[in-house]
Structure 1
Amino acid sequence: MFGKGNKTVGYFINTGIIACILLLPLQHVFAQAELMPYGNLSGIRIKGQLMAFDTRLVVSGNNWKKVYFTGKELQQPQFIRNGDEQVVTTKIDSIHFTETVKDIGKGKARITIKCFSAQDTTLDGVYFNVTLPVAYNDGAIKLSNQPEHQFSQTGLGAPGMHLQHDLEEASFMAASQDIRIQQDTISTIIFRIDEKQKNISLYFPICSGKIGKGVVFQRTYEIKVSGLIDDSPAEMKLDASAPGRVFDGLGGNFRIQNPAHDPEVIDYCLKNLRVAWGRVEMPWISWQPDSTVDPTKTDTSKLNIRVKRAMEMAQRLSQMNIPVIVTAWFPPAWAVEGKLNMGRSPEGIWGNPLKRSSMTKIYQSITDYILYLKAHYGVDVADFSFNESDLGINVRQTAEEHDELIKGLGAYFASHGLTTKLLLGDNSDATTYSFIYPAMNDPQAKPYIGMVSFHSWRGWDTPILQKWADAAKQTNLPLLVGEGSIDAAAWGYPQYFLEQSYALEEVNLYTRLLAICQPISILQWQLTSDYSPLKGGGIFGDNGPLEPTQRFWNLKQLASTPKDLRFMPITSDVADISCAALGDNAKHVYTVHIVNNGTTRKVHLTGLPAGVNKLNLYVTNIKSDMKQKGSVKISNGECEFKADQRSFITLTTQ
């Protein structure tokens, strides 16, 4: 993941800002407005159910030929929460924004936007953009002081065309949801039909034309939603007759980047979580900065401090019988083509290719590290990888070069008595699956591949995730999620880690990964202070007591899955519910993980095997920290239970 790959510089730049942010009072509240940390709303929740719509901040110029907008990983925003207010600060080019979203009643939020330009400029306009789901396309519309009438896309002209109205308020009525948008003054609203999705998009002007440097503009909007709450019972069906792959359990990344605060988080996580796999760094650039100097001759007491910390971390995991994966980020200058690129070049290119003329020396350097780790720290390394080499964080390879590396380095490992294998992929995202195909289809590479691996930062659609499941099946190798989480830029706005929406979206993805991909493990990024599942203790400037967050309790609940269970097919007929099941028919041990993304509802579960008489029920949500909520009785392989709104729920025989 590249947000963390360049994190060191960004962390120290932002430490002062973040420290001030985290001194603000935090209140755990049921957030209604679902605000993303980059400034976009995805809707407003009522009783846990999302009444969906999308918002963005938009800057348009050159007669709408240049349009820029807020979005994930497009800017470098800051996010804070203060009670029922959420505040995002960000900028697009020279336009600086402060967006404040405040819950002001059931289904109702007030959005206040301030902006100014850092220089004199001329624009078509700066807009608050609201896009409605396609369900509204066949609904009714009511504009200020006009009668309600059936909405017609044809009235807006062809997709992408503009239609303008002077109004203060607009209401849209769909079959099961209504939305009213009111602005603080009458102004000209632009209506457009999205060219791709064909849905309604409204642009509320904040400022336009000639904009003087430093002139502040402020607009306020209120959005109110209402609609039917779908609390109909969910039907879930388990098929225990078709056990799949084995799940070892939740794992973690332990790349030491903050020696001041990493130890306390690592200690807490290793004492309170069952960690099944661990991934640590090989600080290659510090291990052998000079190719003519043999680092294996160095006494452990004289090792580079980064190397020493990484090796001690691997040793600690190994002594806990946690299998260890070693991954290299930054290579030494002698091992790459061209000038060493520590980040992204001005051309947008990450990393460096390995130097072809130095491949034997590269193999030796990596092998020496693993042999040294074994000889001096007692660690048998299970697998090795270059981190996200499909992207170049920080070694960059083509798919064919990745194939050649697996064969060349794998054979070198074997010739030196190592059982260490290579990860196939360890890709930056699920979307870059074609990177693994040459090696996957190369019989000569197969003996040296330990697991198939990808990172879960992007590419969550079921068809994309299924490609990784298919790759594991074709190779008959375990599948590993080498880095698990949902937002590669989140270290830049760390207060968002405390949001209910982040916690639930993260564990929802993990549940879907379990069900679709059947991984041997998901390695949390990270079980250190970087992306920490804890708060306080000085982490990101928060000097309160060190304590677990909702994310930690989600991880603990997932990590409490009994060992050596196999994935079992399970389905739900409700879109707001994700589920995954694991079991051992011989031992009559079963676990079902459920994420309820919507309102409270009853669940009817069928397909439980004979001999299972009850399941213990655990719940993690904004009010409950992996609390046992009694047990569920089973009759004839069926049971019923209540799924609390916006909760991670686990049913288990243990």
Structure 2
Amino acid sequence: MHAPRWLIAASLAVAFNSGFAQPELAQWGSLRGLRIEGHLHAFAARMEVVRPDGTVAARTAHYANASRYRREGAGQRVEVELRGEKAVIAVEETGPCAARLDVAMTAAPENGSDQGVLTVDLPRADFLGGRLTWLDAIGGVVGEEAVADTAGIQERSAAGVRLTGVGRTWEIRGRGDVPLRVTRMPADSENVVRVSVPVRPAGTAQASRTFQLQVGGEPDRRPVAIAVEPARPGARFDGIGGNFRLQFPESDPAIIDYKLANLRVSWGRIALWWRDWDADEAADPLAAARAGRVTPRQHAQMEMARRLAQRGIPVIVSVWDPPAWAQLTGPRPPHTYNDPVNPAKWARMAESIAAYLQFLKEGYGVEAVMFSFNEPDLGLMPAPADHAAFIKILGRACLARGLATKHLVADTSNATAKSLGFAQAVINDIETRPFIGAVGFHSWGGCDDENLVQWGAAARQLGVPLLLSEGGPDAEAHRHPDLFLEPAYALDEIELYVRIAALAQPASLMHWQLTADYTLLKGGGAYGHAGPLAHTPRFHAFQQLGATPPGAFALPVTKDRRDVTVAAFGDRANGRYALHLVNTGAARTALVSGLPDGVKVLRVVATATATGLQPEVTVAVAGGRAEIPLVAAGLTSAFGETVP
């Protein structure tokens, strides 16, 4: 097996004190818990604006509100607007198992009768039958009672509250008494114990409060049992890939150079700057290009395509913004960000796109393997039936010019069942078959396990590969660039990639992007970080995925723990195998069975999202079984070869 060059010397990780609690504050202003030794003591704390009748007018939630996240030394801070109310949430680790939480709320004039509340949800099963302790400002006990098994409410004026369950404690404490409420939600609804703490009382313009958070309990280190089935290979995995939509001419070149030199990239995707290419409907864009009238950024993007092709990387061309003549005007459909294309212009659009693909081939020596409209579900072509119809029109235009370029089906913003309708429309239209090359989706939402399985099934039904054509956990992370150095973001990202690899079985996981945008590196001018390029745990984790034997097939794998995500790959023809295991908890052991008889040793590489790349180790295999040490809160990869 070809061993990747693991680049350790320049490795960089944010400095986190592993002995302290690591708060996980989401960029939208919700606190997900405190992580200690890799184990997440999970809870969901959020800010809410509550009406006089008790209903919630607004709350911190993903994609719901305008927010700004940033790291400030050992602390994290989010500013968010909730229905006109301005809220600030700041959290900082203060010691083992402890953190300080500062919250402030300023009411909008029209919301004066509402109140601002800190609401915390804890898993109901962890605390029912336990103890509820009311606390004063210094942690003294002022009352104690049982947490009943039935739904109900427990209230008292106190500075804080401690919940004690089997093997777990959780505590919040302020600096003065306020009316606290603990609600045991019904098991058939939200199934949580909810703690409500007032921050801004109704009738006040603004208020702030400081709380101490404390958690307790031993990290869960129980081993995970994993069974691999190498005799049942699934879809082929070519390897990792990336997007190369050039946006930052000052920082993109060096960052792209570095990533292409140090990552094994198997697929690439570039942008067709269509408004540059064909702004005038009455003009001939191909004639203009042949005469040398190509804009600098269009030329740069085509050169990027040539560079990828020189490395043997297949190139996908996608459109984000059509020219004005190709679009309808007027009110946009809900939840869209672009004007839809005009069906009356489809034929002219197809000729324009085909002409670009022809010029890319004759002028730069690159025949794009596929074309797509980026995220048609968000505006460009929101009707799945239109998507299928245009595939046929463009396909015929490409054939007429002698082009082999196919269509990337769907290429939708997320993996929801609704977005899958774009692939289903193509499945239902047999006439599209000659013109399709793959099915694609983006991971910005909807990546539930069931949905991912359905995307893989749709690609198999069409007989083409599946691609994660834009990968990442949050479409708005570029607004909060400090996130890219956070262990929580890195863990979310790599867990998402490995889960998609296991359940959807794409041919490639194409990161958004391998440029300065959403960069996997620090430095080089990206997001204001000057200085030399340095690795992050995100870079090393993606590099580990890229070390999967190219052309290996996804293998079925089962596990007995939810906090470990596993993807397995096998290349039986060449006797090469890989396991990728994301452990979202404390360090533990994976008890692996089902490995091929000829595999005698595994080479194990691990990246902890808090501290970076770990020393490589080897693990013996006997009778198809191995015990693999899993790094806490990170990716562990095991590579093996059969020995004759």
Q: How does 1:242-641 map to 2 (within 5 A)?
A: 242-299=232-289, 301-338=292-329, 348-392=335-379, 395-431=380-416, 432-622=419-609, 625-641=612-628
Label 1:368 to 1:65 Cα distance change in 2 as closer, same or farther (>3 A).
same
CA contact (8 A) 2:48 2:56 kept: no
**Equivalent position of 2:190 in the other structure:** 197
What is the rounded CA distance, in whole Å, between the counterparts of 2:561 and 2:111 in structure 1? 50
Give the C-alpha shift of residue 538 in structure 1: 1.7
CA displacement 1:184-211 (0-9 Å, x = unmatched)? 2100124445573142222211112223
Contact 1:328–1:387 (CA<8 Å) still a contact in 2?
yes
Equivalent residue letter for 2:200: C
The DSSP-based 3-state class of the residue aligned with 1:80 is strand
- Amino acid across the alignment from 2:216: S
Alignment partners' CA distance in 1, 2:82 and 2:603:
50
Q: For 2:185 and 2:415, how far apart are their aligned partners in 1? A: 27
Q: Is the CA contact (8 Å cut-off) linking 2:16 and 2:611 kept in structure 1? A: no
Amino acid at match of 1:350: Y
Q: Distance in 1 between matches of 2:506 and 2:398?
A: 25
Residue 371 of structure 2 contacts residue 406 of structure 2 at CA under 8 Å; is this kept in 1?
A: yes
DSSP-derived class of the 2:581 partner: strand
The aligned amino acid for 2:396 is: A
Cα distance between partner residues in 2 of 1:445 and 1:138 = 59
Letter in 2 for 1:149: A
> 1:129, 1:410 → 2: CA distance?
54
Structure 2 counterpart of 1:58: 48
What is the letter of the counterpart of residue 105 of structure 1?
G
**Cα shift at 1:113:** 1.2
Q: Given the alignment of the two structures, is residue 151 of structure 1 paired with residue 158 of structure 2, yes or no?
A: no
Q: How far is 1:80 from its partner?
A: 2.2
Alpha-carbon separation, structure 2, partners of 1:622 and 1:430: 26
Q: CA deviation at 1:581?
A: 0.8
Give a deviation string over 1:561-590, Cα, whole Å, max 9, x none: 121111111222122111111111222111
CA 1:346–1:391 in structure 2 vs 1: closer, same or farther (change >3 Å)? closer
2:105 aligned counterpart, secondary structure: strand
Deviation at 1:510, TM superposition (A): 0.7
Instruction: State the SS of the aligned residue for 1:297.
Output: helix
Greater Cα shift, 93-102 or 425-434: 93-102
* CA deviation profile, 1:305-347 (whole Å, cap 9, x unmatched): 22112211111111111000000010011112226x9xxx596
One of 198, 204, 229 as aligned partner of 1:211: 204
Distance 1:559 1:626 in 2: 15
**Where does residue 171 of structure 2 map in the other structure?**
180
How far the C-alpha of 1:348 sits from its partner, in A, is: 4.8
**Paired amino acid for 2:470:** E
Aligned equivalents of 2:302 and 2:166: distance in 1? 60
Q: In the TM superposition, what is the alpha-carbon distance from 1:231 to its structure 2 partner?
A: 1.1
TM-score by length of 2: 0.91
Partner of 2:36: 46
SS at match of 2:65: coil
Contact 1:243 1:583 in 2 (8 A): yes
Distance 1:573 1:349, change over 3 A: closer
Contact conserved, 2:554 with 2:569, CA < 8 A, in 1?
A: yes
Q: How many residues align?
A: 615
Give the conservation status (yes or no) of the 8 Å contact 1:122–1:208. Answer: no
Q: Is the 8 A contact 1:121 1:211 kept in 2?
A: no
CA distance in 1, matches of 2:506, 2:56: 43
| 1:258 Cα offset (Å) | 1.5
Q: Secondary structure at the match of 2:377?
A: coil
Alignment partner, residue 234 of structure 1: 224
Displacement after TM superposition at 1:97 (Å): 2.5
Q: Which amino acid aligns with 1:33?
A: P
| 1:20-58 superposed Cα distances (whole Å, 9 cap, x missing partner) | xxxxx9634445222112221111123211111100011
User: What is the distance in 1 between the residues matched to 2:14 and 2:566?
Assistant: 31
SS, match of residue 561 in structure 1: coil
Unpaired segments ≥5 residues, structure 2 = 1-12, 136-141
72, 77, 86: which is aligned to 1:82?
72
1:625 to partner: Cα distance: 4.3
What SS does the aligned partner of 1:318 have? Answer: helix
Q: Please give the root-mean-square deviation of Cα atoms over the aligned residues, in Å.
A: 2.0
SS at match of 1:58: strand
Aligned ranges 1:130-145 → 2 under 5 Å: 130-135=120-125, 136-144=127-135, 145=142
3-state SS, counterpart of residue 67 of structure 1: strand
The whole-number CA distance in structure 2 between the counterparts of 1:538 and 1:71 is 31
- The letter for the 1-side match of 2:131 is A
Question: Aligned partners of 1:459 and 1:347: how far apart in 2?
Answer: 18
Cα deviation per residue 1:400-427 (whole Å; 9 max; x = unaligned)? 1011011221122122211111011101
Please point out which of 211, 214, 219 is paired with 1:221.
Answer: 211
Distance across 1 between alignment mates of 2:177 and 2:548: 57
- Structure 1 CA distance for aligned equivalents of residues 161 and 488 of structure 2: 28
**Equivalence for 2:15:** 27
Q: Is the 8 A contact 2:225 2:591 kept in 1?
A: yes
Greater CA deviation, 370-379 or 600-609?
600-609
1:132 is paired with a residue whose SS is strand
Are the aligned partners of 1:616 and 1:628 in contact in 2 as well (CA < 8 Å)?
Answer: no
Change (3 A) 1:346 1:266: same
Q: CA deviation at 1:128?
A: 1.1
Aligned to 2:114: 124
List per-residue Cα deviations over 1:94-127 (Å, max 9, x = no partner).
3222222111222221101123346475133111
Contact 1:247 1:565 in 2 (8 A): yes
Separation in 2, partners of 1:128, 1:623: 28
Show structure 1 runs of 5+ residues with no match: 1-24, 157-162
So what's the TM-score if we normalise by structure 1?
Answer: 0.90
Return the offset for 1:450: 0.5
Letter in 2 for 1:619: A
What letter corresponds to residue 513 of structure 1 in structure 2? Answer: I
Contact 1:75-1:92 at 8 Å conserved across structures? yes
Cα distance in 2 for partners of 1:443, 1:529 equals 41
Q: 1:221 Cα deviation (Å)?
A: 1.3
Calculate percent identity across the aligned residue pairs.
Answer: 34
Say whether the 8 Å CA contact 2:289–2:359 is kept in structure 1: no
Q: Tell me the amino acid that sits aligned with residue 417 of structure 1.
A: G
The answer (yes or no) to whether the contact 2:128–2:149 under 8 Å persists in 1 is yes
Give the CA deviation at 1:69: 0.8
